[in-house]
Amino acid sequence: MSIKQLRSLLAIEENGSFSAAADQLCITKAAVGQQMKLLEESLQTPLFDRNGYMPTLNSVGIAFVKEAHKVLLSYDTLFNSMDEEDDFFGTISLGAVPSAILALVPLSVKSMMKEVTNTKIRIIPGTSTDLYDHVLNGSIDMVILSKPQRIEPGLQWDLLSEEPLVLLTSSDFKGSDPLQILKTQPYIRLAQRTSVGLLADNWLIKNKITVQETMIMETMETLGCMVAHGLGVSVAPNLTKPDPIFSNLRKIPLVKGTEARVLGMLTRKDNPKTKVIIKFKQHINHTIKAKPV
């Protein structure tokens, strides 16, 4: 039996299938299956009912999951307490919306790794909605996301930055009237399933602006690339730490009731890795305040 096997078991219980657990853990479905086989062999009892379409936890498995939660909590707490000069031994997971992974996350991780040399960091991209669920169920230690409408009592929210909506155009685009540009130029929309896409759409609706939609993008990264090549314009947050492509775009201030994406960090208050999480927050805040090189 190993800690890795127990984490895989909990991922199966949380996500409902071997495939979903593999996606969360960033390994193959076959690897998850092999770990469960070894775990069952070490316990000398089956944990899954394999008679149906896909394996499901049996009564023994359900009972064992409860104990596995306790073991992993004790394990993580143990490693958090084994520090030298506040160093941390172990792995910490950081989830983030794609726009934060472009520059904010790598710059912060680079700074963090210089100080905490014994820590492994696992990065998980996702939408704000998915990341909220992950930190709530404890499968990710900390997440960077748009501020949720509701924050559960057991969660800790820390503001990182506010990113006002702006009109994005290519660097060589001529014109400065945002309303005229939005009415006449092809519009590249960010998918509504993202909190940023919904924020931009709500601003357009609120200000009764009709656009000529030509494309829908799933991430800020792909949206920025399309705008940079002159394929259209878009309304999006002015990123706190942009990548080179986004940095070179024109950002025209919006004139009506401009809103902002509120970016922050969400963690569980009972996370045993609190020391390293606080340290990571400090590095992220330092990265945000640092001037571009």
Burial 191-227 (b: 16+ CB within 10 A, else e): eeebbbbebbbebbeeeebebeeebebebbeebbbbb
- Answer for the pair 97, 127: CB distance below 8 angstroms, yes or no: yes
Give whole-number Cα distances, 125 to 128, 130, 236, in Å: 10, 9, 19
pLDDT of residue 85: 47
Query: How far apart are alpha carbons 238 and 163 in whole angstroms?
Result: 5
Rounded to an integer, what distance in angstroms lies between the CA atom of residue 266 and that of residue 284?
13
Residue 17: both structure tokens together? 């299938």
Q: What CA–CA distances, in Å, run from 101 to 2, 123, 215, 240?
A: 31, 9, 23, 12
Level-2 CATH architecture, domain 1-81:
Orthogonal Bundle (1.10)
Distance of CA 129 to the CA centre of its chain: 9
- Residue recorded with tokens 């479905």: 29
Q: How far is CA 292 from CA 240, 287, 289, in A?
A: 11, 9, 9
Domain borders along the chain are: 1-81, 165-260
Stretches where the chain sits below pLDDT 50 are 84-85
User: Residues 6 or more apart from 289 whose CB is under 8 A from it?
Assistant: none
Q: What is the pLDDT, as a whole number, of residue 79? A: 58
pLDDT score recorded for residue 89 = 61
Extended strands (E) in the chain? 48-49, 56-57, 90-96, 119-125, 142-146, 155-169, 186-190, 212-217, 234-237, 250-253, 260-268
Domain 165-260 -> CATH class: alpha beta
